[in-house]
Amino acid sequence: MNWRRGLFRLWIVGTVLFVIAVAFVSYSEIKAQFDATARKPKTIIHSSILAQFRQEYPQYNDLNDAQLADALYKKLYSDIPREQFDRKIAGSNTKIIEFQGRLHVFPADATDDEIAATLANEPLSFDDLIPAPNPWATLGVWASIALGIPLVVLALGASLVWAFSGFAAKRS
């Protein structure tokens, strides 16, 4: 009877069952985090300039507005300051400020002090207090549990089999 082969087969069966159990336990948490990330609102800048550009050049429709604005600025408008370009994209009568992950629109004649005062008085929402879940990090933690524990058991079991094989009776 070959104990090593039998124990290794037992380890394989146990590992498969353990991985399935971990997947069953962690599935709902991981799925909920991926769903929450997918439902998170995306920042969208609506601009008539970008809409006109997309009508003339439909090959750029696969880019979102922020990517298209960055590409246009780098290619065509790099000679002007980025703030001036952003005002031009947004319209001549507004300023767009990003604060706490959201875009805020202000009149073009608003001073920096007025904008700062307005943003300082903005209440925090509950979502601002809780960090966004990172579903990939959670998936990595559960995968390391599902694979790490069986590997530790394999190393420990192999060490014990090796140690006890030294006590085996000599074969003649």
Query: Looking at the structure, do residues 118 and 150 belong to the same domain, yes or no?
Result: no
Give the pLDDT score at 172: 63
| Residues 140, 107 share a domain | no
- On whether both 139 and 127 belong to a single domain, the answer is no
Return the minimum-mean-pLDDT range out of 35-39, 103-107, 118-122, 154-158. Answer: 103-107
Q: Which domain holds residue 141?
A: 3-39+133-162
pLDDT at 127 over 60: no
pLDDT confidence of residue 30: 92
Residue 105, beta-bridge partner list: 96
Decide if 172 is inside a domain. no
Mean pLDDT of 92-105: 64
Number of domains the chain contains = 3
Same domain, 115 and 149: no
* Average pLDDT in the chain: 79
Q: Alpha-carbon dihedral of residues 51, 57, 60, 65, nearest 10 degrees?
A: -20
Asked whether the predicted pLDDT for residue 70 surpasses 60, the reply is yes
